[in-house]
A and B are shown apart, each in its own frame.
Chain A
Amino acid sequence: MSEPLRGKISRRKLITAGLVSAGGVLGLSATARIAQRYGLIPPDHGGIYGLGETLTYASQRLLTRHSLAREFSRSQISKPPFANEMAPPSEAFKRLQAGNFADWRLTVDGMVAHPASFSLDQLKSYPSRSQITMIQCEEGWSYIAEWHGVPLSHVLELVGVQPQARYVVYFSFQPDWWDSIDMADALHPQTFLAYGMNGDELPVGNGGPLRLRVPRQLGYKSVKFITHLTVTDDLKKFGKGLGSASPEGGYAWYAGI
C-alpha cells in the first residue's frame, strides 16, 4: 500500500467520522428538543446520574401515562396498619389537632383561574373516592391500605388550571418538605388528596389530616400534612430548581423507578 493512498483513506475516514459525529450531535439535540417538548426530561436531569434518570422518566412516561396502579382486595389490607417514624409535631400542628383540624386549610394558587383555599369539610363535601393500593418505601418495606379522598384532578378542575401548566408543586405543614409531580400524575384518577384510611379518619402517623397519595410512585412522593398546592410551568422557580426537596437530599425527583 503506497503512502498517498493510505493518506487518502485516513482522510476519507476522517471526513466520515466527522460527518457521523456531527450527525450524532444533531440527532441528540433534536431528540433532546422533542423530549423537552413532550415533557420527557425530569427536573433533576443534570449531573452524573442525569442519563439514567432521564431514561427512566422518559420511558415510563411513554409506557405508563394512563396505566392504573394495582388495586387490592379488602382481605389484603395490612393489619395492623403501619406508620413509619415522623418528626414530633410542632406546637402549631398540635393546636390545629386540638381543634380537630377545623382550621386546616389547603390553599391552591399559581397558574389557575381562581386561586382558592379549602377547609377539610369542603374537601370532604366533594365526590369521595376510595382505592386499596400499596405504599412502597424506598427502604424496601411496604403496606396496603384503603385510602379515601378526593381526586386531585377534581380540585384542579375547580380552580381552573391554565393550559400551559406542567407541574403541581405541593407543600407539607412540616417546613422544607415539598415535592412536585407532572400533569400526567396530577390528573391521574388515582392521585388523591387523601383524608381517610381504612374506613376512618387519616391518622396523623400516616399523614393526616391530609396527604397526597401518588400510588404509581414510591412513598416519599406521597407527602404528608398537605397545606398548599401551586400549579406551575417551571420548576426552576422552586428551591434549588430540582423539582422537590428529594433531589436536594440526594433522591430522585421521579420515583416510579
Chain B
Amino acid sequence: MPAAVPTAVPAKTVPARHSALVRVTHWITTLCFFALLVTGAEIVISHPRFYWGETGNDLTPTLFKLPIPASRNLVPTGYGYVLPDQNGWSRYLHFQAAWVVVFTGLLYAVSGLVTGHFRKSLLPAKADLSWRAFSTAIFNHLRLQRPSEAEAWSYNVLQRISYLFVIFVLFPLEIWTGLAMSPSFVSAVPTTVNLLGGQQSARTLHFFVSVSLLLFVVVHVVMVSLAGFRNRMRAMITGRASAPMERT
C-alpha cells in the first residue's frame, strides 16, 4: 500500500489508539460471536421452549415459549409447518467457535492484566463514579450528542462500565452456563450445574445471557456509528485514530 509510506513517520509519534493485541482479539471475538449467535439460534429453534429446574420436555409446563415455529416436527408450537433443520453443523460450529473465543478471551484477559489495560483504559476514574458525572453522561447519550474530541482517545464512564460488565460478567456467565449443559463436564464438576438450579435452568440462563450480549453488540454498533463510524473503525482496524491536529 503506497499510502502507508508517508504516514509511517508521524505514526510513530502518535501512539496507537488500540494495541495490536486488542485489535486482533476484538475482531476474532466479533467473528466468533456471530458464529455462536447464528448457530445458537439454529440450535434453539429445534426446541423453542424454555424451562426452569433439572428437566423439561413437551409434556412438562414451560417457563416461556418463543412464538416461532420449530425445526423439529414433534414440538408443539402452534404452527403448521417445520423450519429447515440445521442442528448438525450448527452444533459443530458452535463448539468450535466457543473454543476459539475462550482462548482469545484468555489471551486478552491475561494481557489486559499484565499490561494494565484494564486498570488504565477500562476502570472508571473515582471522580466519574459520582451521580452527577453519571447523569451528565447518560443525558449526553440520550441527546445523541456527538462525543468530544477527547473521547476518540479514551472511553467515557458508561463505556467503561459496560465493557467491564461484558468482559467480567457476561462472558464468564455465558461460558459457565454453557458448560453446565454438558452431561460429561458436569459429571466431573457437578457444582457448575447444581449452583444454577438444574440443567434446564442453565439452558434458560444461557439464552438470557446471549440476549444480553446481543443487546450490547447492537448498542455498541449504534454508538460507534453515532460517534463516527469511519474513524472508530479505522482505530480498531489500523490502530490509528484521527488526532485533533489532523482534523484542522
Contact = CB atoms under 8 A, between A and B. Distances in A.
Given A49-B93, A217-B183, A256-B183, A64 B188 contact: yes
A143 B55 CA distance: 5
A136 B199 CA distance: 9
B183 A257 contact: yes
A140 B46 contact: yes
Given A56-B95, A80-B59, A85-B74, A216 B187 contact: yes
A138 B91 contact: yes
Interface string B49-87: 100001111111000000000001111000000000001
A139 B75 CA distance: 10
B184 A216 contact: yes
A137 B183 CA distance: 11
A231 B86 CA distance: 32
A249 B57 contact: no
Interface in A27-74: 49, 51-53, 55-56, 60, 63-64, 67-70, 72
Nearest to B60: A78
A63 B185 contact: yes
A141 B47 contact: yes
Contacts of B181: 136, 257
A251 interface: yes
Secondary structure class of chain B's binding surface, majority of residues: helix
Contacts of B58: 82, 141
B95 A251 contact: no
Contact of B54 (A51, A134, A139, A249): A134
B88 interface: yes
Contacts of A142: 54-57, 199-200
A142 B201 CA distance: 12
A140 B43 contact: yes
Interface string B187-212: 11010010000011001000000000
A218 B183 contact: yes
A196 interface: no
A70 B185 CA distance: 11
A255 B97 CA distance: 17
B186 interface: yes
B46 A52 contact: no
A82 to B, nearest CB: 5
A253 to B, nearest CB: 11
A76 interface: yes
Contacts of A137: 47
Task: Specify which of A70, A85, A140 lies most central, judged by the most chain B CB atoms within 10 Å of its CB.
Answer: A140
Given A49-B96, A143-B55, A70 B186 contact: yes
Contacts of B72: 139
A82 B182 CA distance: 21
A193 interface: no
B92 A134 contact: no
Given A69-B187, A85-B74, 8 more contacts: A52-B99, A56-B95, A64-B184, A68-B187, A78-B57, A140-B49, A141-B58, A215-B183
A-B complex: 9 closest residue pairs judged by Cβ atoms: A250-B88, A52-B96, A256-B184, A140-B47, A49-B92, A141-B57, A67-B188, A67-B187, A139-B47
28 contacts: A49-B92, A52-B93, A52-B98, A56-B95, A60-B184, A60-B185, A67-B184, A67-B187, A78-B57, A82-B59, A85-B74, A136-B181, A137-B47, A138-B91, A139-B46, A139-B72, A140-B44, A140-B47, A141-B47, A141-B56, A142-B54, A216-B183, A250-B87, A252-B92, A252-B95, A256-B182, A256-B184, A257-B185
Interface of A: 49, 51-53, 55-56, 60, 63-64, 67-70, 72, 76, 78, 80, 82, 84-85, 134, 136-144, 215-218, 249-252, 256-257
